[in-house]
Every structure is written in C-alpha cells, then in structure tokens.
Amino acid sequence: MTKPFAGYDLPDDFLDLLSSLLRNPSVVGAEHSFFRVLQRELEERGAKVTWYEGLLVAQGNDPDSLMFSAHIDRHGLMCTGPNEFQYAAFVSGARSDLLGNSVAEQLMKKIVYRFQNESVYAYEPWSGAYRGRGDITNAYICEFRNNLIFELEGLEHLVAGTPVAFIDKLKIQTDTIAGQLDNVLTAAALVYLFEKGFQGTAFFTAQEEAGKSWRYLLEWFRRFGGSTNQLIVVDTSPFPDIAAASAQHLVLREQDANALFNQALTQKLQDTCEQLGISYLFKDAYVEKLNQELIAKGEAPHSMGSTELGRIISASNGLVDGTTLQIPTSGYHTLSETAPKASVAAFLRLLHELCQLDQ
C-alpha cells in the first residue's frame, strides 16, 4: 500500500517568492507591470522569456518536454471616470448593460459587500509606479448601468484607465497560507519550478477573470504548436470552507462545461498522486453529486464550471489537449483566500515528480 503523503514545511524560498509576487499588483486588464516582474524572476532562474499580447512564455532547454499554464491576473478596480471605480473584471470583459442572467452578474451580487472598508492603491499599468492609496467606503450595483460601482476615499485625483489594486500580504499560519491567492499562488509555483531546474515551457496568461486568457494562449499554439500539445493548466479550486478544502490534497478534473479533458494525461496525474500518497478529488464528479442532492431538494443545480482549458480544447479543433491540476481553497476571490499548507506542499511535490526534479 502506498504510504499517505505526509507533507513537509513549505520551502522558505518558495514562500519568499510568493510573498514578493503577491505585493506586486496585477489587476485584470492591467497586468503589464506584473509581466515585467515575472520576466525578471524567470530570467534570473535561467528561463528564456518571450512576450505576446496577453501572454508571457518562459522556456527551458527542452521546451516540448512538458507544458504548464497559470493565470496571473487578480481582482481589483478600474477608474472609469472622475472619482468613479468599477470592478476591473467587468470592465476588461466589457460586461455592462447586462441582462441579469449571467454567472458574472450572480457573482456581482455576491461580491457587492465583500470589499467594504478595504484599503487599496493605484498604480501606473505599464511600469507599476505608485499612484496613491485610498479606502473603499461603499459599493453598489448601479440601476442604470447594471454594473458594480465602488466609492473610494483618497484617490479622487486618478484619471480613467488607472488600475486600483487591493493592499495585501501573505499570511502564514500553522496549517494554512492566506491572501489574494488566486491567481498568484500557482504562478509562483511555476516560477519556482525553474529555480529547481525545470526545462519545459510555462505559460502565464492575462485576463482570465475576464474570460479572455484562453484566446491569448490558443493564438500561441496556432503560431507555434504541433499537433499533440498536452497542456496542464494549474489553478485554485473553490470550496465552501477550509474543512472541505482540506478534505483532499489536490483537485483533478475529467471535464468542464465546455469539453472533455485528455483522459491519458488526467490518468497520469491520478497515478502519480497515488504513487506519492497524495489524496485527490475529481471536481466534476463532486459537482455532479452535489447537484443530485440539490435537485432532490428542488433547488437549482450548480454549473459544471467553465475553465480556460475547456475553452481552448473546444475552440482548437484538436490542436490543443490537456488537463487541469488545482489547489483547493476557501474564501475564493477574497483577500483571505486560504489554502492548506499540505495541499500546496503536495502540489509542489507532484510538479517536481512530473518534471523529474529533485525535491
């Protein structure tokens, strides 16, 4: 019998990297300054880095050996007029004058009070230069534009187009880490792979929270990809509380609402987890079981979810295939999104095993 994964303390150099990246802004639609930070960190670790629209590509000496992808945008605000601020993901995704029935609007109603009294800071989107600090005093859904509007104190001088990020830092507890982890946690893990000698390819995509990142990545494969591109997209996966998130180390998927994932590659992740004693859950099976219970109660079922990978598989006509690997978290899309240390450790261990690197 395989010995259960016992975990280990997260490496200090990984936590230092994650903490540093977390303090650099990357608001949806204004990720250029974060790409600059990533470029420096990756080149310092020996990677060859190339920029494309909405995409940064880091490659080692054997770029076709293994391919990973992580999103790098985080939620924040965008100045859209004199002392007027909107949720950046809705601005970047051109979601205004909505009809009332989209997932984005359901999310909007959930988050309208989530960031009350949070501290924020503005920055210049290309250089990352500091443009001032403020506080959120109010948030409401505008009945005329049917969009989420924020009122801020201290940033009245900003001009339209200026991104505003949440002030955040990594919080390390005995068994968990917390912060605005989505999507910086998995991006940091891919940078850390290069530090340990990874020689494959890592993609870092922008505007995932606005539903645009898959297009940038698919364009790269259309330019340079062969006919059998097996891609592993890494991400966090939301659970209702930390107990549910801690019930397994990692989250796999066989499909999402858009497409079936690569069965052989998913099986490889599953087999490797079992070899290492890492526990896992299939999120699509989890949602299906939950929906059966909801339907039995006469309640509306949850969506299977729309992922970057599913959209790419669906749109690529066989050019791109792959699967996902996710870290379970609670407090999704907040400044206190929390991940079990054991899950992050298992995630790093599995990546190292897949890349055949020394831990």
% pLDDT > 90, the chain: 68
Residue 131 pLDDT level (bands cut at 50, 70, 90): very high
pLDDT given for residue 97 in this prediction: 44
pLDDT band at 101 (very low <50, low <70, confident <90, very high): very low
Does the pLDDT at position 93 exceed 90? no
Q: Would you kindly state where each structural domain of the chain is located, as residue ranges? A: 12-74+170-355, 77-166
12-74+170-355 has which fold?
Aminopeptidase (3.40.630)
* Residue 289 confidence (pLDDT): 82
Lowest-pLDDT choice from 58-62, 185-189, 192-196, 209-213:
209-213
pLDDT at 99 over 60: no
Q: What is the mean pLDDT of the chain?
A: 89
Three-state SS string across the chain, please? CCCCCCCCCCCHHHHHHHHHHHCCCCECCCCHHHHHHHHHHHHHCCCEEEEECCEEEEECCCCCCCEEEEECCECCEEEEECCEEEEHHHHHCCCCCCCCCCHHHHHHHHHCCCCCCCEEEEECCCCCCEEEEEEEEEEEEECCCCEEEEEEECCCCCCCCCEEEECCCCEECCCEEEECHHHHHHHHHHHHHHHCCCCCEEEEECCHHHCCHHHHHHHHHHHHCCCCEEEEEEEEEECCCHHHHCCCCEEECCECCCCECCHHHHHHHHHHHHHHCCCEEEHHHHHHHHHHHHHHCCCCCCCCCCCHHHHHHHHCCCCEEEEEEEEEEECCCCCCEEEEHHHHHHHHHHHHHHHCCCC
Can you tell me the mean pLDDT for 142-171? 90
Question: What distances in angstroms separate CA 119 from CA 112, 133, 350, one per listed residue?
Answer: 16, 7, 36
Is the per-residue pLDDT at 282 higher than 90? yes
User: Residue 67 in contact with residue 158, Cβ under 8 Å?
Assistant: no
Q: What is the pLDDT of residues 314-330, one digit of tens each?
A: 999 889 999 999 999 99
> In this predicted structure, which of 67-71, 104-108, 130-134 has the lowest mean pLDDT?
104-108
